[in-house]
């Protein structure tokens, strides 16, 4: 078996609902996925493989123009609206295992989060490598709205989505509410430990890596592309 330190996965399924062909939308004359490919190539790890997990032949052709080798496509059954990340990850691990390649660490770089500070990406990786107890590390940021003030509807009535020891926490000032963080798509490193199948990507001991500003951008609708400047990208 050939042991590699890092598998970098750039997930790019077709048929996105919010923006058609979202991963390929043009941004400063480059497809959106280009910026994640560029970031992946800058990661300071010689023993790495960069792989685009896609079910689209069109996406495969485009990423190959930027130097990626896509030896296999993701099955359609792992590319549906309700498919989970663990599905495309384990598919990739199994396919590489068939080719006698195994990995110590994994990294997911989502095309919808194109603005990355590479110093932060490298710091995150180093933090995980030095922590023998952690299973993963992911980029998080402070949310615009506190989830302790969010609701679900049950039988026609509002019901708070979270429980708390704070009396009527949904009416409490934010200053006394627990500090919460929102997961971003900027980066997620995780330990593979040379396995060909994982039960979880994040595991139970997840380290936070705090980011802010433009790095927290997650492109979901066209308005998210407004006010972007070329100098923001890695």
38 and 125 housed in the same domain: yes
Return the pLDDT at 125: 98
Return the pLDDT at 82: 87
The DSSP call for residue 222 is G
133 and 221 housed in the same domain: yes
Q: How far apart are CA 216 and CA 67, in angstroms?
A: 27
Q: What is the CATH number of the domain that holds 192?
A: 3.90.550.10
20 and 55 housed in the same domain: yes
Return the pLDDT at 17: 66
60 and 153 housed in the same domain: no
84 and 131 housed in the same domain: yes
Give the count of domains, the chain. Answer: 2
168 and 193 housed in the same domain: no
1's CB contacts (< 8 A; 6+ apart) are 100, 101, 102, 194
* pTM (predicted TM-score): 0.93
Return the pLDDT at 219: 86
Return the pLDDT at 41: 97
155 and 74 housed in the same domain: no
Contact 104, 192 (CB under 8 A): yes
126 and 204 housed in the same domain: yes
Give the residue ranges of the chain where pLDDT is below 70: 17, 234
Structural domain of 157: 147-176
Q: How far apart are CA 19 and CA 14, in angstroms?
A: 11
122 and 213 housed in the same domain: yes
30 and 114 housed in the same domain: yes
* H or E, element range at 16: none
Q: How far apart are CA 50 and CA 97, in angstroms?
A: 15
37 and 115 housed in the same domain: yes
Q: How far apart are CA 96 and CA 90, in angstroms?
A: 10
68 and 101 housed in the same domain: yes
């Amino acid at each position: 078996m050939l042991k590699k330190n890092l598998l970098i996965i750039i997930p790019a399924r077709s048929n996105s609902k919010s923006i058609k062909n979202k991963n390929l939308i043009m941004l400063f004359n480059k497809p959106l996925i280009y910026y994640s490919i560029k970031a992946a190539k800058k990661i300071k790890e010689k023993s790495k493989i960069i792989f685009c997990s896609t079910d689209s032949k069109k996406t495969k052709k485009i990423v190959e123009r930027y130097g990626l080798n896509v030896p296999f496509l993701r099955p359609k059954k792992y590319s549906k609206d309700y498919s989970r990340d663990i599905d495309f990850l384990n598919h990739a691990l199994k396919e590489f295992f068939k080719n006698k390649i195994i990995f110590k660490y994994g990294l997911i770089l989502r095309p919808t989060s194109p603005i990355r500070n590479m110093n932060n990406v490298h710091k995150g990786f180093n933090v995980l490598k030095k922590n023998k107890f952690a299973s993963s590390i992911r980029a998080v940021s402070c949310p615009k709205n506190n989830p302790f003030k969010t609701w679900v509807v049950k039988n026609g009535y509002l019901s708070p989505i979270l429980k708390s020891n704070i009396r009527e926490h949904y009416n409490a000032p934010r200053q006394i509410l627990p500090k919460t963080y929102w997961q971003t798509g900027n980066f997620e490193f995780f330990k593979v430990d040379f396995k060909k199948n994982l039960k979880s990507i994040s595991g139970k001991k997840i380290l936070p890596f705090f980011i802010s500003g433009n790095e927290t951008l997650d492109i979901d609708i066209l308005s998210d592309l407004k006010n972007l400047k070329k100098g923001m990208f890695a």
